[in-house]
């Protein structure tokens, strides 16, 4: 069953989790405030997003 998952923070651990879930066929939104990390996830998750996940307005826009 395909699920929708959000991974907040795509450092070493978050990147591994996001990639594994995406490879299992799930829709994965990965968010990080460091643009370089987001760019690295292009093609490796469904929705790579650059933004501050501690900002409530940023999360509401998703």
Q: What secondary structure letter does DSSP report for 32? A: E
Pairwise CA distance, residues 29 & 49, whole Å: 7
pLDDT computed for residue 18 by the predictor: 98
Which residues touch 48 (CB under 8 Å, ≥6 apart)?
30, 38, 39, 41, 42
pLDDT one-digit tens code per residue, 12-49: 999 999 999 999 999 999 999 999 999 999 999 999 99
pLDDT computed for residue 1 by the predictor: 85
Contact (Cβ atoms closer than 8 angstroms) between residue 30 and residue 49? yes
Domains, the chain, ordered by start: 4-61 (3.40.50.720)
pTM of the predicted structure, to 2 decimals: 0.88
């Amino acid at each position: 069953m395909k699920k929708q998952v959000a991974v907040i923070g795509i450092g070493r651990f978050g990147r591994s989790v996001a990639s594994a879930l995406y490879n299992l066929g799930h829709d994965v939104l990965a968010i990080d405030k460091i643009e370089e990390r987001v760019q690295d996830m292009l093609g490796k998750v469904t929705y790579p997003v650059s933004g501050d996940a501690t900002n409530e307005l940023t999360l509401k826009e998703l």
